[in-house]
Chain A
Amino acid sequence: MSHPNPPRRWARRALIASTLVVGLVGLSACATDPGGAASDDRELDLLIPAFPASWDARATSGFYLTAQLLINEPMVALAPDGSFVPTLAESVDQPDLSTYVYTLREGVTFTDGSPLTVEDVLYTFDLHSAEGTTSFMARYMAGIESVEATADHEITVKLAAPDPEWPYTIARMGIVSAAYYDEHPESVGTPDVPQLGTGPYTVESISAGSKLDLERNDDYWGAKPEYDAINFEAPADDNARLLALQSGEYDAILQAPLSQLSSLTSIPGYNLTEVPEVATYRISMDVTKAPFDDPAVRRAIAHAVDREAMLEAALSGHGTVSNGIVPAELLIGLGEAQPVEDAYESFGDSLTYDVDAAAEELAASSVPDGFAVEVLVQQSDPAQTLMAQILAQSLAEIGIDVSVSQVDDNTFLSRLYLDKTGDGLVVFSFNAGSAEPANMARSAFTAGDFGNMEQFTTPAITEALQAYKSEEDDAARQALLLQIFADANAEVPYVPVFHPSVAAVVADDLEVKDFTSFWWASRIDEIIVPTA
């Protein structure tokens, strides 16, 4: 799945996910390459889907972090295999569920030579959590009760309530230099004032919004980074990225556009790696808006959605049709597989593609003669548009007249999230920011959250979500989540359509290790490595 802009901002918490890596579907192209060991001057040229308007720490999230975290290291990093690795923090202590104590590594310096201090960490926290901040991470920081320097190299964070997602939040927070930010108010991250960090790579140049060149930080405190330089480029759209790869000047394309995978893999000298993404395309119906406040209408629509056709048309089949808005594997990771599989199968009953059943439901609804509705889709994600057109054709058969409106992301957000001025029917893609299974669920069922397009929630669900936060037992967590999804499924506020794949196409002389849906949250030089 691909939507370059804005990237997965609606990302949430996580857990580990080695189980998630269903497999490397990498096309085992000719293994003729002798695969010489990485030499010192190896550069990595990467195509990523999008660039932020600025490399300011507050403006980077999602894919952007892949570059950001190479410059500004977090205190604790997420390793490609899903484990957490202390980096700028030497150690982490968790005295209780809502308190974290980080001990900073000593002797670390920024690339300008100045030493890393607790002031820098405090400054970074403040950057993201101060009142009125523009930071994408503000909401994740909202649960902080206090952040204090409790010793020379010690930071203590107290949360208002336990937050299973906190480690992921910390792993996404690259530490910036307080002095540097003070010196350049409001302009850090621009071409003239590039970011300054302690990470394995440092900025060589930023050129006009579409290129970022990093070079190795030779004074890096840790192991010598693999590549001499890593260059990122974000062509204007999927098509341009395909063309770019064809030009042969790049080593890899990450988050490759799925509808173009066949074209991409036909380019000689490149291999495909494809894994399921923790993301869901769904059709959501705003239960507060007529006629979608009528469950019969929602059931009718659920039966009218040809999910197979949508997967085929929108993603050329690169994904899996799903009965739930969270990939089953994520829940299975918490415990037994059987209950999850049974539940998901039962969810499918209301989702069968059956136009006759749909017509029957509609005939029995408050709008037996059908109605007209506008579906908003994001211009940046062509898959949504294709799905909406298929939806329109199916719904036309039962008398619902769908007009598809393609709008830019800003309009999409403002009309559906802020103003709620849509007609109530949305084709929508929703991605997890982390492998925490409750991440997507909480967003989908919390009133006022962007993920809750349906404006659907029940007291029971809210209660279950709350209980999940302090529940430490995985099996119990699994049960809580399954209960939530069952409750929701009964009301059909949404039609889960499919989970897309996430793909990388990489040159022959490189190999992909531990590629996951969250590749961007880990060091890319540890995911894409020279063939041994």
Chain B
Amino acid sequence: MSAPAAISAASETGVVASQRRPKARRSSTGIVLRLILTRLLTSLIVLFVVTFVIFLFVHAAPGGPELALAGVDATPEQLAAIRAAYHLDDPLVLQYFRFISGALGGDLGASITMREPVITVVSRAATSVTLPLIVMAWMLSVIPGVTLGYLSARKRGSITDRVILTATILGATAPVFAVGMFVSYVFGIQLGWLPFLGAGDGGLDTLRHLVLPAVTIAVVLLASATRVSRVRFIQVIEEDQYTFARARGLSRSYLWTRVVLKNAAVHLITWSGSLVIGLIAGLIIVEQIYGLPGIGTLLIKAIGSRDIPLIQGITLLIAIGVVLINLVVDLLCIWVDPRIRKGMEVER
């Protein structure tokens, strides 16, 4: 073993904390604010790029919303009139400017085919299906996943651990559509335990309809949650601080909550954030398999009918969702880890 990393790093650059110029010491609120501002600024650029790229692709694609609106019986004159009515023949830059200036004012326009504001359509799909589905899947995976990770980490090397490990590799690798078909076939069709189609009639019935889709997503997430938490738990257990805490006679609950869980938290929070983001594509597939009228299905429909405002709106809202999740993750990490508050780089 070489000299401890911290020391060699310090001697490498020949710097110790005491040599910082006093005036350079920033307040932690300042650092947090700066972090959030930078993050939001980058996010704005991200949103700008995303919407523009999608915008270009949709416009370059064959067909247009006018075909979906008027169908094959439409005359060329009729189609031209519709295009004009929706300003589809304006220069692209102008169209994009119109979209972005509307979006900045909170107005995403109206869906061409559905004749409703994009916000209304999307929020209906989100609140009735997609968000409950995400929350349900998240709860079905993260909580049991971390518990399994705990069991596995505590009994590492044991039979239990190996069984859990092997099972999680299977779960974390199986494509979501394969899992979806399996789950719906076995528990929906063959066993008939739960509904496997549509979103039901709202309320409890909808929740019942969301169980199998949520389980499908959770199978994948649970496996991943177990693996990630197990690895991180073991890392912390192998750290000196764990041994030192043990050597002081601290109780098992203290060791797990204040040492292991707390030190794993930043990692787990970051991970579960990226998990939700990675879940978006899986959501589309699951909504398709279970015939759920959520955002994914809406997006597929919008693509089919070239409903430009709706496609733009959905991708923008998804991107905003991603940005918000990242922001929440950052804030949670700042809250948990004082080192980030003080502007230090911390491995997540």
Contact = CB atoms under 8 A, between A and B. Distances in A.
Q: Is there a direct interface between A and B, measured as CB atoms under 8 Å apart in the complex? A: yes
Nearest to B83: A132
Contacts of B22: none
A77 B244 CA distance: 86
A contact patch SS: loop
Contact of A411 (B63, B129, B201): B63
For chain A, the bracket of interface size reads: 35 or more
Interface stretch (B157-165, B191-199, B217-225): B191-199
Given A53-B301, A136-B71, A410-B306, A243 B197 contact: yes
Contacts of B124: 191, 208
A418 B78 CA distance: 13
Nearest to A240: B291
Given A410-B305, A415-B62, A417-B72, A138 B78 contact: yes
Contacts of A186: 110, 115
Nearest to B66: A134
Given A187-B115, A209-B298, A410 B70 contact: no
B50 interface: no
B115 A210 contact: no
Contacts of B301: 53, 209
B41 interface: no
A424 to B, nearest CB: 17
B128 A132 contact: no
Given A10-B73, A408-B304, A208 B114 contact: no
A415 B303 CA distance: 16
A247 B192 CA distance: 8
Contacts of A187: 115-116
Contact of A210 (B75, B293, B307): B293
Contacts of A408: 63, 303-304
A132 B291 contact: no
Contact of B62 (A61, A142, A247, A411): A411
Contacts of B125: 208
A189 interface: yes
B114 to A, nearest CB: 5
A422 to B, nearest CB: 11
Interface in B160-198: 184, 188-189, 195-198
Select the residue from B72, B114, B288 with max chain A CB neighbours within 10 A: B72
B62 A414 contact: yes
B71 A211 contact: no
A132 B78 contact: yes
A160 interface: no
Contacts of B84: 132
Given A53-B113, A187-B116, A418-B67, A139 B298 contact: no
Interface in A90-130: none
Contacts of B141: none
Interface residues of B, number: 53
A54 B113 contact: yes
Contacts of B196: 243, 247
Greatest chain B CB density within 10 A among A53, A139, A189, A409 is at: A53
B62 to A, nearest CB: 5
B197 A244 contact: yes
Name the residue among A186, A191, A417, A418 with the largest chain B CB count within 10 angstroms: A418
B67 A414 contact: yes
B297 interface: yes
Interface string A176-200: 0000000000111111100000000
Interface in B27-70: 61-64, 66-70
Interface in A385-430: 408-411, 413-415, 417-419, 421
Interface string A127-171: 000011111111110100000000000000000000000000000
A142 B75 CA distance: 10
A333 to B, nearest CB: 25
B114 A190 contact: yes
B63 A236 contact: no
B81 interface: yes
B120 interface: yes
Contact of A10 (B63, B72, B116, B303): B72
A508 interface: no
Contacts of A220: none
Nearest to B85: A132
Interface string A445-457: 0001010000000
B84, B114, B189, most chain A CB atoms within 10 A: B114
Given A59-B69, A132-B81, A417-B72, A410 B297 contact: no
Nearest to B304: A408
Nearest to A413: B67
A188 B116 CA distance: 9
A247 B197 CA distance: 9
Given A138-B70, A408-B303, A418-B76, 7 more contacts: A53-B305, A54-B114, A54-B116, A132-B85, A134-B69, A186-B110, A235-B197
26 contacts: A5-B304, A53-B113, A53-B305, A54-B115, A56-B115, A134-B82, A136-B73, A138-B78, A139-B74, A139-B78, A208-B128, A208-B129, A210-B291, A235-B197, A235-B291, A236-B288, A236-B291, A243-B197, A244-B291, A247-B188, A247-B196, A408-B63, A410-B64, A410-B67, A413-B63, A418-B76
Interface of B: 61-64, 66-76, 78-79, 81-82, 84-85, 110-111, 113-116, 120, 124-125, 128-129, 184, 188-189, 195-199, 201-202, 288, 291, 293, 297-298, 301, 303-307
Nearest 10 CB-CB pairings of A with B: A132-B81, A410-B63, A53-B113, A414-B63, A450-B72, A208-B293, A9-B71, A139-B73, A134-B69, A414-B62
